[in-house]
Structure 1
Amino acid sequence: MRENGNKGGSMGRRVLMVILALLLLAAGAAGYLYFRTLSLAKDPVEIVDNGPAPTLSPETPQLEEIIGTPHDIDVDYEVDVIGSEDVPIYKKDRIDEDVLNIMLVGSDLREGEAGNGRSDSCLLVSYNKRTGSISLVSFMRDVWINIPGVGFNRINAAYSYGGIGLLINTVNENFGLDIQNYVLVDFEGFESIVDELGGVEVNLTKKEAQFINGGSSAKVVVKDGMQKLNGEQALVHSRNRKTGDGDFGRTRRQREVLMAIYSKVRTDLSPLKLPSLLNNVFKHAKTNITPETMLSLGLDVMKSSDLSTGNGRIPFDNTWKYANMDGRSVVSINLAKNRELLHDLIYGE
């Protein structure tokens, strides 16, 4: 009996040692993630209390409507850059404590170019803890909007004029939001992130498949339906605005690729691949989100078994028109209606 007791005690000690080892590994991983996350918040854009008094931006001026799709709607018009310093983010009180709004931005600045570049991709990521939902909302680049301190211009010019701070202030002011957090992404990093995941499944049309084949070294099958894209193909697909639907299609494709990445991370990511994937993310992103908030948000999202997702774009359907502004084609929107629909999507029960 004593011998059996010794064996039992020995087994218990071994189990305890394994548990302690696992706890140490978990603590080490958490510590690693915490300190690596700190590197993402290097030189964050300042949030200041003394911004201008909140006011509703004036409605978009009445512009001459253009019938049909303008030939220049995707032209990258140059804009002047005001100063060399980024505009601070003006502090806004949280509208709903259960809803966290984050601005996800990819700049079109090329290597060797000065200034901020334009916001090539601008998406609002909203997590509603109460309803267990995440929404992605794209802001189309050609939306004609009032940029605080600048005047009316295309919304993607806000980033060029004053960086992420001015872009966030522009969205907050016009759409009555409370965005304080941002993630700046090098969209070239999508290639390595997607490849690290082993590719992502995306629903393609024949035209989209042909476009991918024209811009990537590896080819996809020219057909309608789900196909696996590697990193290069996913990036080409995300930047496509040449298959007849302009920026409407491009913003939709970006949301679809992001959701495909999210789905792959939730369902197929091996713990052994996590450090390598995170290193890619850390290399290609900057944010002002605190490590505590980021880790808490990540745990909430990853552990949820019934997280619902939704997406949309500004402008919503039937709230816009193509218009002429001094010889340039822009997207004129019904600001009040878009503000209402956006709030319904983000804060709705």
Structure 2
Amino acid sequence: MANYNDDFVDISSNDDVNKVYETDKRREQPKKKKNKGLGRRIFVLVLSLIMLLVGSGLVYYYKVLDSMTFKELEPEPVAATTTTSETTTYSIASGGSTLLSSDNVLNILLFGQDSPATEEDHGRSDTTILLSIDNVNKKLKLTSFQRDTYVSIPGHGDNKINSAFTFGGERLSIDTIETNFGIKVDKYATVDFSSFRDIIEALGGVDIELTLEEIKYINAQIDVNDQLDVTNFLTYDETKEKQMVHLDGYQALWYARDRGEESLGGNPEYSFSGDDWDRTSRQRNLIETIIKNLRENASLTELVAIANRIGPLVTTNLKKGDITFLVSNMLTYINYDMEEMSLPTQDRWQYGTTSDGQSVIAITDWDGVRSDVAKFIYEDSVSGGSTSSSSSTTAPTTAAVQ
């Protein structure tokens, strides 16, 4: 077991990851004795074309990188060791100060921000999803954190998990998730609502299957918010419970924010069932649908072109080398199987009320939740974990992996 104190895991340096993408060496072909001059001319021509294309591609790609907003996180206020491994099996336990990490899994925390951050205001995190790129099992994994989950926020006591973003932006949100769930967050990427809409537009919209009630909810929000000058009502067949629709940026944002509402805009006819669990499920479904659409329709050239349009809309601490590695292997990643989960997991929580009257999701079995998320992300690399219930509604200062 090796300990690393780095802020991130550089998956590009891992031998096993490189093996996944290592291409077979071309077999040496017997030399032809005839037409040597013609062969040399063809070789020079092909080489020149390759250099031209690669050179143009690199210039274009580095323009993509330069368009992105890079923001390094401030130093971690909570000391913790990071346990990194490729083959060792760990047991999950509570207490201690060790974060579980792997060279073969890259964890990127995705934030959906309600408004652009300023020096005085971080805004609120409407969405928090951990994207795990698992190069061992060849999977993309999405883990949603319910925003009303009651957790320990370093330096701020106990509160809802989305309060961490309000108090301290990405840095404090990452510290909070690491402290409570014991999983090392390697990188982050943040978009606000306006940028989210622009990203969907850059993708050309998204084709997705929705229920009749979901379609009506989107139309109701467009009506209540007087948005017909920027978007349109979705058309639908009243006789079909589910149907394919094409969402633009505004429509997609309403879908991603749909958790139901009674008498929307004061109109009793605009009443929809749902809760935050439904909303996080829709958010994961939207991401999965976009990835599937890219898998079926996009080439590497088109992916780079999309990245060029999306780049300026994202704030991240991914380094340029990380992005280069990810984009160069994007065609591989989007063909990975996709899995999802939502935290806290079933039967390990209950609704509760704080002393000041807030309704919260109180985790009753922290060991079980940590074990669930560890096994979901790292699979066979972890074992054990408690299944007993605990009356505690907040986490220890740090989560541990032994």
- Of the three residues 240, 248, 252, the one matched with 2:258 is 240
| Equivalent AA in structure 1 for residue 377 of structure 2 | I
The reply to whether residue 344 of structure 1 matches residue 375 of structure 2 is yes
Q: Normalized against structure 1, the TM-score is what?
A: 0.79
> Which residue does 1:80 correspond to in 2?
none
Q: Normalized against structure 2, the TM-score is what?
A: 0.69
The reply to whether residue 218 of structure 1 matches residue 233 of structure 2 is yes
Give structure 2 stretches of 5+ with no counterpart: 1-33, 82-91, 223-231, 261-271, 381-402
Point out the more displaced range, 286-295 or 96-105. 286-295
| Structure 1 pair 305–279 and aligned structure 2 pair: CA distance change class (3 A) | closer
Q: SS state of the match for residue 240, structure 1?
A: coil
Point out the more displaced range, 141-150 or 285-294. 285-294
Q: SS state of the match for residue 188, structure 1?
A: helix
| Structure 1 pair 280–311 and aligned structure 2 pair: CA distance change class (3 A) | same
> Which residue does 2:383 correspond to in 1?
none
| Structure 1 pair 241–323 and aligned structure 2 pair: CA distance change class (3 A) | same
| Equivalent AA in structure 2 for residue 299 of structure 1 | S
Contact 2:111–2:126 (Cα < 8 Å) also in 1: yes
> Which residue does 2:61 correspond to in 1?
33
> Which residue does 1:46 correspond to in 2?
74
- State how 1:104-119 maps to structure 2 within 5 Å: 104-109=110-115, 114-119=120-125
| Equivalent AA in structure 2 for residue 40 of structure 1 | M
Which deviations, in whole Å up to 9, do the C-alpha atoms of 1:309-348 show, x marking residues without a partner? 1011111222221111121111111322211110111000
The reply to whether residue 330 of structure 1 matches residue 331 of structure 2 is no
CA shift at 1:92, angstroms? 7.8
- Of the three residues 290, 307, 311, the one matched with 2:340 is 311
The reply to whether residue 127 of structure 1 matches residue 133 of structure 2 is yes
| Equivalent AA in structure 2 for residue 17 of structure 1 | L
| Structure 1 pair 343–319 and aligned structure 2 pair: CA distance change class (3 A) | same
| Structure 1 pair 198–215 and aligned structure 2 pair: CA distance change class (3 A) | same
Q: How many residues align?
A: 312
In structure 1, C-alpha distance between the alignment counterparts of 2:335 and 2:301, rounded to whole Å = 25
Identity of matched residues, %: 31
In structure 2, C-alpha distance between the alignment counterparts of 1:200 and 1:265, rounded to whole Å = 10
- Of the three residues 41, 46, 56, the one matched with 1:13 is 41
Contact 1:58–1:146 (Cα < 8 Å) also in 2: no
CA shift at 1:280, angstroms? 2.6
| Equivalent AA in structure 2 for residue 340 of structure 1 | S
Contact 2:177–2:183 (Cα < 8 Å) also in 1: yes
| Equivalent AA in structure 1 for residue 258 of structure 2 | N
- State how 1:194-343 maps to structure 2 within 5 Å: 194-216=200-222, 217-221=232-236, 222=238, 223=240, 224-242=242-260, 243-269=272-298, 273-274=302-303, 276-303=305-332, 307-325=336-354, 326-333=356-363, 334-343=365-374
Q: Over the residues paired in the alignment, what is the CA RMSD in angstroms?
A: 3.1
Give structure 1 stretches of 5+ with no counterpart: 60-90
- Of the three residues 135, 138, 145, the one matched with 1:139 is 145
| Equivalent AA in structure 1 for residue 339 of structure 2 | G
